[in-house]
A and B are shown apart, each in its own frame.
Chain A
């Protein structure tokens, strides 16, 4: 086919296009993913007992706050990455900072606790459930986000996939925090941080396969 013919085909009856669709659709996918994650925790695992009493509400709120602190910059970065060349206009440091801050908190809190208590706080009864649940709950939010990103045009597929995984992992961890009864900071940092990192790694691996256009 001649290129002239292609051009005249593409430029006949051009429809008006809304460029705000990118932010809106990715944002909607993140909100839908959050709803799915919270619903899964409420209806499958069940929220932790006494979520409404001050003693459990405040620590749960803190855990949710931590995941949201990572989630918000990660989502903004993801929106940028879905535009061609978006990987050039932003820095990973923005998203890495909250992560590093939480890890510093852990080191500090471990430093204050006597060494014999480390094992008890990190390997409490809940760790295995946490490690299995967060990646499983993240699957549906991840699929929703990937579906939305596929409507766009990311040009760094591995990095975009990693951020889709990071956002899905954060959404899942946020929901899981409403179920998990362990409020110690080292536990939270290691197992929540670890599983979110695992989701990010999975997204990084899957991105080039799922996001090609």
Chain B
């Protein structure tokens, strides 16, 4: 797959308008680019593919939780690249690696390659999910894992529709934070 800025940007715009299918396609394509990017960077300093997979998942979650910071008037590639690079530097700093061997790079580099061969990540979301407050856990389970609509989830969980939305949003943020916290230990 040759990276196609225009195509990815159209997918992102559709996603921001609430198109779930477009978002799934976009995330799956970006995950391949990110995997290749992180594998390449981490292999150079002798890190494992699992670590690259963890980092890629963290970047995907950031692309999800911070998607309101994308300006549709701007190209998508530099935005994704800035997030990917930020998460890489943050990860290296956290794991006390030298950043001297991370050269200045072009945003295009991220899209130049992809890798669809996934490794199982060490992130155990099922366990982390079980540690969330009850309301958040049930809302995420219903909407994000069982695929119920917000209205169905509201009646199943006995919450209002806006409470379901708020709990899903807060729960995902808490999930991302707990993954980041686990890695710091």
- Using a CB–CB cutoff of 8 Å, the interface residues on chain A facing chain B are 1-19, 21-22, 82-86, 88-89, 152-153, 155, 212-213
Contacts and interface: CB of A to CB of B under 8 A. Distances in A.
Contact of B20 (A13, A22, A152): A13
Contacts, number: 120
A9 B144 contact: yes
Count class of interface residues, chain B: 35 or more
A213 B143 contact: no
A86 to B, nearest CB: 8
Contacts of A213: 62, 66
Interface stretch (B2-10, B95-103, B122-130): B122-130
Interface string B115-152: 00010110111100000000000001001110101100
B69 A3 contact: no
How would you classify the secondary structure of chain A's contact residues: helix, strand, loop or mixed?
A: loop
Nearest to A7: B27
Given A7-B31, A82-B69, A155-B83, A12 B143 contact: yes
8 contacts: A3-B56, A3-B57, A7-B27, A10-B23, A13-B143, A14-B18, A22-B69, A153-B66
Given A18-B68, A85-B79, A10 B143 contact: no
Contact of A22 (B17, B68, B123): B68
